[in-house]
Amino acid sequence: MATLTKRATAYFDPDIHRALRLKSAETFRSVSDLVNDALRDSLAEDVDDLEAFNARASDPLISYEEMIKRLKSDGRI
């Protein structure tokens, strides 16, 4: 079954492009597949971060100074 894809132009740093081509050759995968997987992983990480942020949205805010005091009083720093 054919997968629908969109074509895009991306400009890579020469060293990154070389690394991509080498990895592509060694893993028998296309550069497109490698880039798609890397972007998919990055976007999934963003989703996880946003979920964690939203889960803690109602937590009380404290200042940096207060956090340092708490860490010091708990013996963590």
CA distance 52 to 66: 22
Q: Residue 5 has what DSSP assignment?
A: -
Q: Is residue 64 domain-resident?
A: yes
Q: pLDDT-derived band of residue 2, with 50, 70 and 90 as boundaries? A: low
Q: Is residue 19 domain-resident?
A: yes
Q: Is residue 66 domain-resident?
A: yes
Q: Is residue 2 domain-resident?
A: no
Predicted TM-score (pTM) of this structure: 0.64
Positive/negative CA dihedral, 39, 45, 49, 54: positive
Q: Is residue 38 domain-resident?
A: yes
pLDDT digits (tens, 9 = 90+) for 43-66: 999 999 999 999 999 999 999 999
pLDDT digits (tens, 9 = 90+) for 6-36: 999 999 999 999 999 999 999 999 999 999 9
| Distances in whole angstroms, Cα of residue 18 to Cα of each of 4, 12, 31, 40 | 27, 9, 10, 21
Domain that holds residue 68: 14-73
SS3 state of residue 72: helix
Counted domains in the chain: 1
CA distance 73 to 19: 48
The pLDDT score that the predictor gives to residue 4 is 87
